[in-house]
Amino acid sequence: MKKITTGQEYINSLRNRKLKVYLFGESVEDIVEHPMIRPSINAVAETYDLANQEPELASATSPFTGERINRFLHITQSREDVVLQNKMQRRLGQLTGTCFQRCVGMDAFNSLYSTSFEIDKKYGTKYHQRFKAFITQMQSQNLVIGGAMTDVKGDRSLAPHQQTDPDLFVHITKRTSEGVYITGAKAHQTGCLNSHWLLVMPTIRLTEDDKDYAIVGAIPVDAEGITYIYGRQSCDTRSMEGGDIDVGNAQYGGQEAMVILDNVFIPNELIFMNGEYEFASMLVERFTCFHRRSYVCKSGVGDVLIGAAATIAEYNGADKASHIKDKLTEMTHLNETIYATGIAASYQSKPTESGAFLPDEMLANVCKHQVTKLPYEISRLAQDLAGGIVVTLPSERDFKSETVGHLLEKYLKGKSEIPTEHRIRILRLIENMTMGRNAVGYLTESMHGAGSPQAQRIQIARQMQLDFKKQLAQELAGIEKQRKKILVNEISDYFGRVFDVNV
C-alpha cells in the first residue's frame, strides 16, 4: 500500500476492502459511503490532517527509521512524547467533538513494546524484534492500528478456561508450524472498521490453565474469518434522513462494533505473545495506565460542549446573568480537572526497561476515575443552560415545511439578531453530545472505556501507600516511631514517583 499522507488519502484507503460488516441485520457493502458510518471515518481522517497542519503537535521522529511519522504511531521516547500525546488528544477532541478512535491502538502498541521486551528477557523469545519490525512497517505506510482487548467475558465469576463456552474469551484453537488460529469475540471495539490492522490482546490476568488465551498478535481488518457487527448509537438513524440539522454534529462521529473471530490465522511473524500467561497482567495494566490518562481527550470534547452551552445562553439573551456565568465557570473547572490529572500522569512518566516511557499509574487511574463522573455533570449543566427545548424541538422537516415552517421560525426565535436556524443548530449539537450519537463517546465511553469505575478504584487502592502516610501522621502527632524498616522502600518509591528523586 502507498504511504498515506492526508485525510482524503486515508478515506480512499478504506475503499474496496473485503470486509464482512452487518448493520440492521444486513450486509454493508461500502462503509465509506454509508451515512451512519462515514462521520466516524471523517473523525479519523482529522488525525492525518492535523499531523500536516500542526506537525510539532501531531507528528514525531521515529526511533527506528529517523523519519517524521504520525504521533499515533510513535513509541514514546521521553516524558515530552507522552505529554504531547495528551495535548494532541485534546486538540482533536476540540476539532471533532467526538471520539477520533486511534488512542486504543496507540496505547496498545506502546504497552506491548515494553511488555514484549520483558517477555524476551525472561524466555529468550523474539517477540520484541518481531514487534519492532511490525510497527516500523506501520509507520512506513502510515496506517491505522486498532486495539482489540475487551472480551465478551461470559460468566464473570469464572476464569477463561472455566467458561462453559470457551469462545467467550478469544483463544487459540489450533497451532501449526506457520502460526496459530484464534476464535472468540471482542466487544465494543472502537474504530475497528476504520483501522487497517487490529492488535488482538488478552483482557485480564491469566493463570497457567489459561495458556491458550495468552495470545497477542496483529491481523489485517479484512482477514478471513472476521465478521463485524456494527453497534447502535442513540439517534443514529437521523444521519440517514437526508438533512443535517437534526444530527447535531453531521460531520464527525464515533464508532463501536463487535468483532467475531472464527479461526482467524496469525502467522508467526505477527505473534507477540503465545502462552506466556504471566505477562498478560503486565500488558493489561500497562495498557490501562496509558489508556486511562488518554481520556484527556474528553477535555477537548468538553471544550466544544462548554462553547455550545455559552452560545445557547447568548442566543437566548441570558449570557449576562450571574448564575449563567457561574455554571459556565463550573463546567470549565470540571473540564480542566480532567485535563490536569491526565497531563500530570504524563509529566510523571518513567522509562521502562525497553526505554519506552510509561505514565504514572496512580495519576492515570485518578484521571480516568474523574472522567467517569465529571463529563456527566458538565452535560447536566449544558442541558440546564439549553432549557427544555433541547429535547422537544420539532424535526428539520417541520422547519422546512411550507405549512408550519414559518411558524417555527417565528416562535422559536431567541435574540432578534440571531437567525432561528442558528439557535436550532446549537441546541441539536448539545443534544447530540449529551444524549445523541456522540454522547456514546463523551459519556458512556467515559464511564466504561478503559475499565469501569471500580477498576480504577482497585488500582488506586493498591497504590495508596497507607503505611507511609500513617507514619507521617504518627510522627507529627508525637507517637513513638515504629516500623522504620518497612517504610524505607515506601518513602523511596513515593519520592521517586512524585518528585523524581532517589532517597
| Catalytic residue positions, numbered | 99, 103, 190, 256, 291, 295, 297, 445
In single-letter form, the type of residue at position 501 comes to V
**Cβ neighbour number for residue 221 with a 10 Å cutoff:** 20
Of 301, 320, 306, residue with least CA distance to 371: 301
Helix (H) or strand (E) holding 227: strand 226-230
Three-state DSSP string of 330-361: HHHHHHHHHHHHHHHHHHCCEECCCCCEECCH
Q: Evaluate whether 106 touches 356 at the Cβ level (below 8 Å).
A: no
Q: How far apart are CA 264 and CA 301, in angstroms?
A: 36
CA distances to 9, 16, 144, 194, 220 from 138, rounded to whole Å, are 15, 20, 8, 15, 11
Closest-CA residue to 215 (of 192, 256, 186): 186
Is residue 324 classed as helix, strand or coil in its secondary structure?
A: helix
Query: What are the DSSP E strand ranges found in 41-91?
Result: 59-61, 68-70
CA atoms within 13 A on the CB side of 119: 29
| One-letter amino acid of 458 | I
Decide: residue 36, CB within 10 A, 0-12 exposed, 13-18 middle, 19+ buried: buried
Dihedral angle over CA of 296, 12, 227, 450, nearest 10: -10
- Count of Cβ atoms closer than 10 Å to residue 477 Cβ: 7
Grid coordinates in use for 304? Answer: 466544544
Please report which residue ranges of 348-465 form alpha helices under DSSP H. Answer: 361-371, 374-386, 396-399, 405-411, 420-434, 439, 445-448, 453-462
| 372 in a known ligand binding site | no
Q: Which helix (H) or strand (E) holds 182?
A: strand 179-190
What residues are designated binding site for FAD? 190
What residues are designated binding site? 190
